[in-house]
Amino acid sequence: MSQMDISTRTEEGGWRSKPSFMTWRARDVVYVMRHHWIPCLFAAGFLFVVSVESSIKMVSESSPPFDIGFVATESLHHILASSPDLNTGLAALNSVLGVMQVSYIAWTWLIEGRPRATITALFLFTCRGVLGYCTQLPLSKEYLGSAIDFPLGNLSFFYFFSGHVAGATIASLDMRRMQRLRLAMLFDILNVLQSIRLLATRGHYTIDLAGGVAAAILFDSLAGKYEANTRKRQL
């Protein structure tokens, strides 16, 4: 075989006398690096992160949280802080996107009869509420709020994870599933612009945005499994 055999059980159900890694040969390693380069890349990333994490000093109690997204959007933050009308205008556009994604998710269920996106949203925002309540983070001192931001009224909100980003990702995933690729690309672009604005206004940390994307993908998968299991029980 030109592939690593990671199993240590024999066909009879017993165990080999040698551990699996002792049977690896040089050509097995080459095979893995050529045909499984993505896990190899993540393995290198893991080693790099371990070395970096152990050498970085923790942020002191007297210092504000460090966020690479805040650093990258520092100039835009100053522009919005000095231009309240521009900040309000961008908040209004962001609210339009929020209404668009909610409308699309509701449309897929109420009009098209496909509940997966709605189930995903219900799973996701319930989880977000639980996690947000468990760890309640203070607003950044640089936060730039707006009374017309979605949800309207400049209400309090949970930081982790971003409902704005998660909702747009749920809609985009459903659009791709239905081969509405151009519409999905539009939502992805708007989601990126929304993310930049949320960082610039200090409405979310970078980890909140990444968490929103990851949560949408996870709960979309769980909703798909829920639908599949429901159909099996009905047969």
Q: Where are the alpha helices (DSSP H) in the chain?
A: 26-35, 37-53, 68-72, 74-82, 84-110, 116-134, 163-177, 181-200, 206-234
Q: Torsions phi, psi of 65, nearest 5?
A: -60, 145
Catalytic: 204?
Answer: yes
Cβ contact 79:86 at 8 Å = yes
Cα–Cα dist 162/209, whole Å: 5
CA atoms within 13 Å, Cβ hemisphere of 75: 1
Nearest-CA neighbor of 69 among 166, 168, 140? 140
Catalytic: 208?
Answer: yes
Cα–Cα dist 99/4, whole Å: 51
Q: Kindly name the residue from 149, 164, 174, 220 that is annotated as catalytic.
A: 164
Cα–Cα dist 121/106, whole Å: 10
Q: Kindly name the residue from 149, 174, 208, 220 that is annotated as catalytic.
A: 208
Catalytic: 77?
Answer: no
How is residue 190 written in tokens?
């708007």
How many angstroms separate the Cα of 127 from the Cα of each of 39, 100, 120, 123, 210?
29, 22, 11, 6, 16
Using DSSP's 3-state secondary structure scheme, residue 80 falls into helix
Cβ neighbour number for residue 27 with a 10 Å cutoff: 12
Q: Which residues are catalytic?
A: 164, 204, 208
